Chain A
Amino acid sequence: MITIESVKNWIFDLDKIYNEQKLYLSELDSAIGDGDHGVNLARGFDTVKSQWEKTPPADLASAFKLISMALIKSVGGSAGPLYGTFFMRGGLVLANKNETGLDEWIEVLDKGIAGIVMMGKAQKGDKTMLDALYPALEALQKAKSEGKTFADALKASFEAAETGMKDTIPLLAKKGRASYLGERSIGHQDPGATSSAMLLKSASQFF
């Protein structure tokens, strides 16, 4: 279930994960970008956590808004606006809802991804975070059509995200700083797809 408590546990876990993995993410980013992805996300989720502790949100919609604004104001780079927009657009789905499941989570991802596409103008296969997020959404939709439980659907979705993440390795980057490398971006795993897969894996443990 997606409740205010499970969102809190998810977000606080993400803060822990991004802090633990910040050098790994930054190393991935150094190979094809400028090496700051992990550090920026760790700073962003530190800010989310401290904002949450200072003013705990009362409902799911305001929780997603808090996460969005904290990320937009503290991450910078392209990850700030992109993840910020993901939570902003995704959170709109949750207005006046406090206990939600698979149907709403599919909507959150769908609207959140649409926000990322609007902001970053990337497509599937451009070697970006979308290459982890789209497969995750498709796996959720498939699980729903097969009548699977929310827990099974979440598992299928993060596994699809991780596959999508690994599938970025042979891709040629077409967006962001990695695109400047052209052919040389081939052979490296995309850091944005990696942080997105981490986000979905953590969600599967708490929802």
Chain B
Amino acid sequence: MYSEGLINKGGCMKKLINNPDNVVKEAMEGMEKAHGDILKINYDPAFIARKDSPKKGKVAVISGGGSGHEPMHGGLVGFGMLDAACPGAVFTSPTPDQMEAATKAVNGGAGVLHLVKNYTGDVMNFQMAADICASEGIKVESIIIDDDVAVKDSLYTAGRRGVGSTVLTEKIIGSSAERGDNLETVVKFAKYCKDNGRSMGMALTSCALPSVGKPIFEIGDEDIEMGVGIHGEPGRERMKIKPANELVDMMIEPVLSDISLKNGDEIIMMLNGMGGTPLIELYLLFNRAVEVASKKGIKTVRCLVGNYITSLEMQGFSITVMKANADILKLWDAPVHTAAIRWGI
């Protein structure tokens, strides 16, 4: 199946799939079987919605993006988090008809917030959907998350990428909507998260699209990609592998320094696996990250450690830091019940 094509250098990566074209659909069918108690699934156009949606009078929060980042976003749909998620093809943004249908399906009459990761395709497709919905009288606001400090935000790039902060933002604004905040307030918290969350990632290995089969980038046995995005897109620098603590130090410095944190500040930290990294390594990395922050007088008061925003089978990790305050922590601690995150219920 993978032998066709004009250029075929290197081997294919093994994958547990049947037909590359059916990967997303079959995974959605599996999610329906696993989490049918909290989710309902629409296949055409594809979106995953809360079982109890639409909730009358509640602001609806929708996100979406390419597949291959699971559990984000479908695994983050449920009480206290997203109302719907639109999965695109693997590493490809979803199409406007998906967001349009999801928006209409979960709109409870109090407005809808689209949470978009800053990738060119995602922004364009969400914008087209928001325009269509707005033209039909649905109140839609869009917030674009752009937290990746590995990319310089300048006229010469598409801007910082949207990565790990998205997960924390979905929890915080999902809980804001859940407790009955109006659209304006939910948007205010989304802007807070956008302004106060920063991330950086790295990769030990590449990953392969099911439909292509071969690694997205070549990487030497002793090399790592520093500043990698969540699609295997190369990052800021290729370098030799170093001890874990040195890698954490290289990543957390730019993350912490990009948001104005001072002695005594509190943060929520996510130490995220890219999909192929064992949890034992993630805890080891988290240990160092908390230490480094602590030495600067910054207190890690809440955390997530695990695989939340992945890049297929890529080995690597990312660190996300969000500055906290009493309001944000109250929302963070509020009950949540999704496939991937559950507490307080």
Q: Which of A25-63 contact B (CB under 8 A)?
A: 26-27, 30-31, 33-36, 39-40, 43
Mask, B1-15, CB within 8 Å of A = 1, is: 000111110000000
Which residues from B are CB-within-8-Å of A79? Answer: 121
B89 near A40 (CB under 8 angstroms)? yes
CA distance A41 to B234 in the complex (A): 22
CB contact under 8 A between A179 and B156, given known A36-B92, A76-B125? yes
A175 near B120 (CB under 8 angstroms)? yes
CA distance A79 to B122 in the complex (A): 11
B interface residue numbers (CB < 8 A to A): 4-8, 45, 66, 88-97, 119-121, 124-125, 128, 150-152, 155-158, 161, 209, 211-212, 214, 216-217, 229, 231-236
CA distance A157 to B233 in the complex (A): 33
Distance to closest chain A CB from B322 (angstroms): 22
CB contact under 8 A between A36 and B209, given known A75-B95, A78-B124, A80-B125? yes
Which residues from A are CB-within-8-Å of B235? Answer: 180
Distance to closest chain A CB from B304 (angstroms): 25
Does A119 have its Cβ within 8 Å of any Cβ on chain B?
yes
CA distance A181 to B66 in the complex (A): 20
Which residues from A are CB-within-8-Å of B211? Answer: 36, 39
Determine the residue in chain A with the shortest Cβ distance to B8.
A23
CB < 8 Å neighbour of B6 from A24, A119, A176: A24
Does A141 have its Cβ within 8 Å of any Cβ on chain B?
no
B89 near A36 (CB under 8 angstroms)? yes
29 A-B interface contacts by CB (under 8 A): A23-B7, A23-B212, A30-B216, A31-B217, A34-B91, A34-B231, A35-B216, A36-B211, A39-B209, A39-B211, A40-B89, A72-B95, A72-B96, A72-B97, A72-B128, A73-B95, A75-B92, A75-B95, A76-B88, A76-B121, A77-B88, A78-B121, A78-B124, A176-B120, A179-B156, A179-B157, A180-B158, A180-B233, A181-B234
Does A191 have its Cβ within 8 Å of any Cβ on chain B?
no
B212 near A177 (CB under 8 angstroms)? no
B91 near A82 (CB under 8 angstroms)? no
In order of increasing CB-CB distance, the 10 nearest A-B pairs are A23-B5, A77-B121, A34-B231, A78-B121, A81-B124, A179-B157, A76-B92, A78-B120, A24-B6, A39-B211
A interface residue numbers (CB < 8 A to B): 21-24, 26-27, 30-31, 33-36, 39-40, 43, 72-82, 119-120, 172, 174-177, 179-182, 184
Main secondary structure of the interface of B (DSSP, over half): loop
Which residues from B are CB-within-8-Å of A77? Answer: 66, 88, 92-93, 121
Which residues from B are CB-within-8-Å of A74? Answer: 95
A34 near B97 (CB under 8 angstroms)? no
Determine the residue in chain B with the shortest Cβ distance to A181.
B234
Which residues from B are CB-within-8-Å of A175? Answer: 120, 158
CB contact under 8 A between A24 and B97, given known A35-B212, A180-B151, A180-B229? no
Among B88, B95, B119, the one with the most A-chain Cβ atoms within 10 Å of its Cβ is B95
CA distance A21 to B97 in the complex (A): 27
Which residues from B are CB-within-8-Å of A176? Answer: 120, 158
Determine the residue in chain B with the shortest Cβ distance to A77.
B121
Determine the residue in chain B with the shortest Cβ distance to A24.
B6
Distance to closest chain A CB from B202 (angstroms): 14
Distance to closest chain B CB from A178 (angstroms): 8
CB < 8 Å neighbour of A23 from B4, B89, B94, B232: B4
Distance to closest chain B CB from A187 (angstroms): 13
B7 near A119 (CB under 8 angstroms)? no
CA distance A154 to B66 in the complex (A): 37
CA distance A119 to B233 in the complex (A): 23
Distance to closest chain A CB from B129 (angstroms): 10
CB contact under 8 A between A33 and B233, given known A174-B156, A175-B120? yes
CA distance A40 to B212 in the complex (A): 11
Which residues from B are CB-within-8-Å of A177? Answer: 119-120, 158, 229, 231, 233
Among B8, B216, B217, the one with the most A-chain Cβ atoms within 10 Å of its Cβ is B216
